[in-house]
Amino acid sequence: MASDANSASGARELVDMRDASSSVVDLPLDARAAGPVDAVYDAIVIGFGLAGASAALEAAEQGLKILLIDRFQGGGASQMSGGIVYAGGGTHVQKSCGVEDSPAAMADYLRKEVGGLVSDEAVQRFCDDSLETLGFLERHGVNFSGPKAPKKTSHPTDQYYLYFSDNGTVPAYMGQHAPAERGHRTKNPAKVPGAPPLPGKKPHGGFSEGADMGWYLMAAIKQAVAKNPLITVLPQARARRLIVENGVVVGVQVDAIPQGGLSSRVHRWAERLANKLTFQVMQVHRPFAALFRSIEKLSSRPRTFRARHGVVIAAGGYIRNRAMMARYAAPYVRTLPIGSFGDDGAGIRLGASAGGVGDHLDRISAWRFINPPYDWTKGVVIGASGDRLTNEEQYGAHLSRAIYEQSDGRAWLVVDDAIWRAALQEVNSGDLFEFQKFPVKQAQKGAKKAGSIAELAGKIGVPAEAMEAAIRAYGDAARSGAPDPMGKSDACRQAFGPGPYYAINLRHEMPISPITALSTGGLRVDEHSGGVLDERGQTVPGLYAAGRSAIGIPSNNYVSGLSLADCTWSGRRAASAIVKRSRADGRGEGRDSALSPGAAAEAG
């Protein structure tokens, strides 16, 4: 469903849509009124996550001088991710693990997930480019390898690095090609012989060790950016407004914290603590977030930069902007945002300020994983009506969509005694990360138990007749070999045996069982260039968008690794368009970027 931000009035509403903690975005300023310019670059990239870094690296490696701006220290939501990159078509990792794949097979599957939200042609290009997308990351220090996981899981354990990260094994998503493992998990360089160590300190470890894979990925990419002499990074700077000249976006005005002083150091410290996942789960991050926001208000100074050939918005999504969430995706307000504090919609609102169109802003990817433990996929997810909600085998984002959009966030996983015991055995095996074990153990502790399905329905407050009918239909199909009513594969279904029976609560509950989420709607863009489109479908001259600031491959249905792959691909797409434009202009490449004495040095 398209949002109503695609009209002129809707665009202006979107520019102003912010809560008290979100960045201020002003309407564009004419270049003649912008005042002194601090420095000029061939291109400016707003946002230093994977999309922004990919754009900066691609453009710089083709000879352009780049200013890369970030509100914090770089990394964005990419750094907080699980470090999974969705790649296929016959990658070297797939081949080493004996996985057969092709761009055609990959596209055949992804078209089912994309659902027409981007064109089939764009999906095919994404798949045709997949080998090069992975190669780009590897050339910049990111490590990928096998072995492959023996069975489907939401996140493989530490000994496996290639796995089914999508719905490829679900019958409804199967086509003429056999399913292929395409989830490539970033590898800790300490486990790669000869790989150089990465600078800095990983944010998690211990309880959340599995969550550090995104840090490994972005640490390598940050190092590549730092080594490139054509990229200047300006941290702790918020893009406030775009600069236009004769209808063309030619620069950006930012509010920047002066580097090297006490304000800069405290801002960095406070943001680092506020971003700790455990602090957010325990809801103790707020004082640190309030502190860095106060520093931004009190210590930032306006600066103006000009771009010769284009500005790329790669500032993430809007999962932390409660005003946008309440307006476009209200059911998902009750989730734990997985994104940096820069994911407050500022990038999308900047694009809208210049005439861009925000689209599909109702699309949120929320994750309630019930695998691991693997045997939980053999249970039945029951909604508030007592009916079965969906295919339990599906990727966690699909499961969460059913929970939120069909059952107002209320659902239970119902299992019999055999499934319950098998799941306990897997959890106690020691093969899972602690961050995977903890929510399962907490869910098991709070589960309702009863001797019959009717009694269990009474304990969770759903109609017994409907729940009994759902469990009966599920079991009858499994026993007879008939197709599952929700399309589950044979490997993931099992008729219930004797009780007791258990109901595991799947609703979002802080701090013991949060449902995490990110936004996947964004600015409408030209599928060949990444140029931001206005309401007439025309590009806004000089303005591009990438990653979760733009509509992309994962905007309809997200599966693990698809966002990072799209960030890399779409960032490079925008950069290539700017390089092409610079060559058509025949000017600007390699020029001195400073317009005022010392400006470029200060920016770095």
Burial class (CB in 10 A: 0-12, 13-18, 19+), 592: exposed
**Structure confidence at residue 574 (pLDDT):** 98
Angle formed by the axes of helices 464-480 and 453-460, to 10°?
140
Verify cis geometry, omega within 30 degrees of 0, for the bond prior to 500. yes
Q: How would residue 243 be classed by pLDDT, with cut points 50, 70 and 90?
A: very high
* Model confidence pLDDT, tens digit, residues 383-442: 999 999 999 999 999 999 999 999 999 999 999 999 999 998 888 876 777 777 777 888
pLDDT at 8 over 70: no
Find out whether 441 and 210 touch, Cβ atoms under 8 Å: no
User: Rounded to whole angstroms, how far apart are CA atoms 583 and 580?
Assistant: 5
Computed over every residue of the chain, the mean pLDDT equals: 92
* Model confidence pLDDT, tens digit, residues 531-551: 999 999 999 999 999 999 999
Q: Which of 22, 14, 571 is nearest to 341 (CA)?
A: 22
Q: Which residues contact 36 (CB under 8 A, 6 or more apart)?
A: 304, 596
Q: How would residue 207 be classed by pLDDT, with cut points 50, 70 and 90?
A: very low
Question: What is the percent of the chain where pLDDT is above 90?
Answer: 81
Could you give the maximum distance between any two Cα atoms of the chain, in Å? 80
Average pLDDT of 39-56?
98
Q: How would residue 597 be classed by pLDDT, with cut points 50, 70 and 90?
A: very low
If one compares 4 and 56, the residue with the highest pLDDT of the two is 56
**Structure confidence at residue 256 (pLDDT):** 98
Residues 576, 137, 141: CA angle, nearest 5 degrees: 130
Average pLDDT of 489-495?
95
Residue type, 281: V
Average pLDDT of 222-237?
98
Question: What is the percent of the chain where pLDDT is above 70?
Answer: 94
User: Rounded to whole angstroms, how far apart are CA atoms 576 and 578?
Assistant: 5
* Model confidence pLDDT, tens digit, residues 99-138: 999 999 999 999 999 999 999 999 999 999 999 999 999 9
**Structure confidence at residue 5 (pLDDT):** 61
Least confident of 86-90, 515-519, 582-586: 582-586
Token reading at 232: 């200047």
pLDDT at 587 over 60: no
Least confident of 7-16, 91-100, 154-163: 7-16
* Model confidence pLDDT, tens digit, residues 454-491: 999 999 999 999 999 999 999 999 999 999 999 999 99
pLDDT at 586 over 90: no
Q: Are strands 301-313 and 248-256 parallel, antiparallel or unpaired?
A: antiparallel
Residue type, 380: V
* Model confidence pLDDT, tens digit, residues 139-197: 999 999 999 999 888 888 888 999 999 999 999 999 899 999 999 999 988 888 888 88
**Structure confidence at residue 208 (pLDDT):** 52
**Structure confidence at residue 594 (pLDDT):** 35
Token reading at 550: 């733009």
pLDDT at 2 over 90: no
Find out whether 107 and 129 touch, Cβ atoms under 8 Å: no
Verify cis geometry, omega within 30 degrees of 0, for the bond prior to 372. yes
pLDDT at 222 over 90: yes
User: What residues form DSSP beta bridges with 550?
Assistant: 523
Give the H/E segment covering residue 147.
none
Verify cis geometry, omega within 30 degrees of 0, for the bond prior to 463. no
- In 115-160, alpha helices (H): 120-128, 130-139
Q: Which CATH entry fits the domain spanning 4-80+217-257+300-366+517-603: 3.60.15.10, 3.50.50.60, 3.40.50.1860, 3.30.2130.30?
A: 3.50.50.60
- In the three-class reduction of DSSP (H, G, I as helix; E, B as strand; rest coil), residue 15 is classed as helix
pLDDT at 10 over 80: no
Token reading at 421: 């015991």
Average pLDDT of 326-347?
95
Terminal alpha carbon distance of the chain? 42
**Structure confidence at residue 195 (pLDDT):** 85
CATH 3.90.700.10 boundaries in the chain: 373-505
Average pLDDT of 509-529?
94
Least confident of 9-13, 365-369, 453-457: 9-13
**Structure confidence at residue 18 (pLDDT):** 94
Q: What is the DSSP string of 53-106?
A: HHHHHHHHTTT--EEEE-SSSS-HHHHTS--EEE--SS-HHHHHTT----HHHH
Q: How would residue 4 be classed by pLDDT, with cut points 50, 70 and 90?
A: low
Strands (DSSP E) contained in 271-353 are 301-313, 336-337
373-505, what's its fold? Flavocytochrome C3; Chain A, domain 1 (3.90.700)
* Model confidence pLDDT, tens digit, residues 51-89: 999 999 999 999 999 999 999 999 999 999 999 999 999
**Structure confidence at residue 206 (pLDDT):** 47
User: Rounded to whole angstroms, how far apart are CA atoms 578 and 542?
Assistant: 8
Strands (DSSP E) contained in 124-217 are 162-163, 183-185
**Structure confidence at residue 590 (pLDDT):** 41
CATH 3.50.50.60 boundaries in the chain: 4-80+217-257+300-366+517-603
Q: What is the DSSP string of 421-485?
A: HHHHHHHTTS-S-HHHHHHHHHHHHT-EEESSHHHHHHHHTS-HHHHHHHHHHHHHHHHHTPPPT
